[in-house]
Amino acid sequence: MKVSRRTMLAGGLAGALAVPTVAGLARWRWQHGSHTGLVHDASLAAGRRFAEAGAAAGRPSVEVYGDTVRFARELVATRPALIAGITRRADALLIAEVAGEAGYVIAAQLRGDDSGCAGNTCDGSFVALTRLMVGAGGMWAEAFATWAANPPGTTLPPAAAANWFPDRELALGWLLVPRS
C-alpha cells in the first residue's frame, strides 16, 4: 500500500473525529452509573499495587485467573464503561482481543517507566493520562488505578519519581474503552 500525504491526512482526520466520540462515550457511561472494570496480575508487584490503589479508591480490581480468554469474556459481559489493567503483555493482548470482539478499542498501553505510552498506542484523548503516569514516577500503578476508579475527579497519590519498581519491564498498563 502506497502512503501519500492525502491518505495520511485522511487517516488522521478520521482518527481525530473518532477520538472525542470514544472518550466521550466512556465518560458518559461512567457518569450515568456504569462501572469501571479494573484488572490486575497478582504475580506482578505493579499489579498488586494497582489493585490496592483501586480498592482504596472504591473500585476493587479483579485478578486475572484461569483461562485468560474465558476470564475476559466474563469481564466484558458486564459491559463496563472502561476497562483498565496492569498485566503481562500476553494477558493484555488476549483481553484486548476478546474485548475488541465485544466492541472495545485500546485507548492506551502504558509502560511503567518514564516513556509513558508503549509505541503508538495512545489515543489523543488520553495524553493527559500518559503525562499523569510519567509524572507519578514510581507510583505509576497507583496513579493509574486512582484515575481509572474515578476519571473526572482524580486525586493522585504523591509522586515517588526516584523509586522505579523492579517489575516495570514486565508490567503493562492498558486502557480499553467502548467503540463508538
Torsion of CA 21, 26, 28, 33, to 10 degrees: 160
- Dmax over CA atoms of the chain, in Å, equals 50
Residues 133, 127: Cα–Cα separation, whole Å: 10
Q: Helix %, strand %, coil % for the chain, to 5?
A: 50, 20, 35
The torsion angles phi and psi of 86, rounded to 5 degrees, stand at -130, 115
- Per-residue pLDDT at 165: 58
Residue 144: closest CA among 75, 63, 50, 81: 50
170 falls in which pLDDT band (50, 70, 90)? confident
Domain-wise residue ranges, the chain = 5-178
Quick one: DSSP state of residue 67?
-
Interacting residues of 24 by C-beta distance below 8 A, sequence separation 6+ = none
Better-predicted residue by pLDDT, 75 or 7: 75
Q: What pLDDT is recorded for position 108?
A: 84
**H-assigned helices in 68-138:** 68-77, 89-101, 127-136
pLDDT per position as a tens digit, 66-124: 999 999 999 999 999 899 999 999 999 999 999 999 999 988 888 766 555 555 566 56
**Of the candidates 148, 155, 156, which has an alpha carbon nearest to the alpha carbon of residue 82?**
148
Q: pTM for the whole thing? A: 0.73
Q: How many residues does the chain have?
A: 180
